Amino acid sequence: MEQRDLYDKDRKLTGKTIYKGEPVPDGSYIVVVLVYIQNSEGKFLIQKRSERKNGLYATTGGHPKSGESSLEGIVTEIKEEIGLDIKPENLELYYGGRSESSHVFWDDYYIKMDVDDIGKLKLQGEEVESLHWFSAEEIHKLMEEGKFFKNHYEEFEALENWMKNKSLKK
Report the predicted TM-score, pTM, of the whole model to 2 decimal places: 0.94
Query: What does the DSSP 8-state code read for residue 60?
Result: E
Determine phi and psi for 29, rounding to 5 degrees.
-140, 155
**Average pLDDT for residues 3-8, to the nearest whole number?**
97
**Is the pLDDT reported for residue 170 higher than 90?**
no
pLDDT, mean over the chain: 96
**Euclidean distance between the first and the last CA atom of the chain, given in angstroms as a whole number:** 46
Q: What is the pLDDT of residue 116?
A: 87
**pLDDT-wise least confident of 52-56, 119-123, 130-134, 166-170:** 166-170
Interval 58-78 mean pLDDT:
97
Over residues 141-165, the mean pLDDT reads 96
Number of Cβ atoms within 10 Å of the Cβ of 103: 18
| CB-count exposure of residue 139 (10 Å: 0-12, 13-18, 19+) | buried
- Distance of alpha carbon 69 from alpha carbon 143, whole angstroms: 30
Mean pLDDT (whole number) for 49-74: 97
Q: How many whole angstroms separate alpha carbon 150 and alpha carbon 166?
A: 24
* Listed residue (16, 1, 5) closest to 104, CA to CA: 5
- Rounded CA-CA distance 135/66 in Å is 34
Mean pLDDT throughout 1-27? Answer: 95
Nearest to 65 by CA among 55, 77, 53: 77
- Whether residue 69 has pLDDT greater than 70: yes
Indicate if the pLDDT at residue 46 is higher than 70. yes
Q: Is the pLDDT of residue 1 over 90?
A: no
Average pLDDT for residues 33-50, to the nearest whole number? 98
Which segments of 25-149 does DSSP mark as H helices, in order? 70-82, 136-144
Hey, how many other C-beta atoms are within 10 angstroms of the C-beta on 76?
17
Domain boundaries 3-169, corresponding CATH code: 3.90.79.10
Domain ranges of the chain: 3-169
105 within 8 A of 11, measured Cβ to Cβ: yes
- Give the per-residue pLDDT at 56: 98
